[in-house]
Structure 1
Amino acid sequence: MKELVSSNFYNDVKNIIINARNKVYHYANSTMIYAYWDIGERIIIEEQGGKERADYGKKILHELSLKLTEDFGSGYDERNLRRMRQFYHIFPIRDALRPELTWTHYRSLLMVENETLANTI
């Protein structure tokens, strides 16, 4: 019996699905990069409370992480929230962010920035 679905037809449809999934992945990634930047900005605004510099020791990140982790899971622990705050601080111009970079790329850049800063002290 002859197959109704040729391999060319199947491969065309398969490639359409793969391309669509890749686009969704990249769109979701770039959207989350901007969300992490926005979260970092909002954390700094909250910590500073209208002042030039933040009052540390208020445990804002701890309480925020507990609430976010309850609602969204482990991606919002204190460590990640500190990274988001640092992300905003090191990359202050939102429009200069590169959406083709993943959060893993940006985290690596944050570590390089920390090492560079540590080596200058």
Structure 2
Amino acid sequence: MQMYVYYYERELMNEGDNPPIGIVLCADKSESVVKYTLPENETQIFASKYKLYLPSEEELSQELQREYRALEYDKKNQNNFT
């Protein structure tokens, strides 16, 4: 993910834009995901700065559930054709 954030920052940002952020969407909380997603000594995380521009927790949860169901549906249909 960090590669995409850096690419956007270097190639697509306009002057005056806020720095891009990456969002990791997970179905469940995992300390391991948190540990390895952020730099080891990260001391400045300003998620609240972007809160107004992010979907609500409920909207993110619903989207994850929709995607999960779609993947399960595709998986079942793929097995029917093999």
TM-score band w.r.t. shorter chain: 0.3 to 0.5
TM-score using structure 1 length: 0.23
TM-score using structure 2 length: 0.33
Pair member with larger Rg? 1
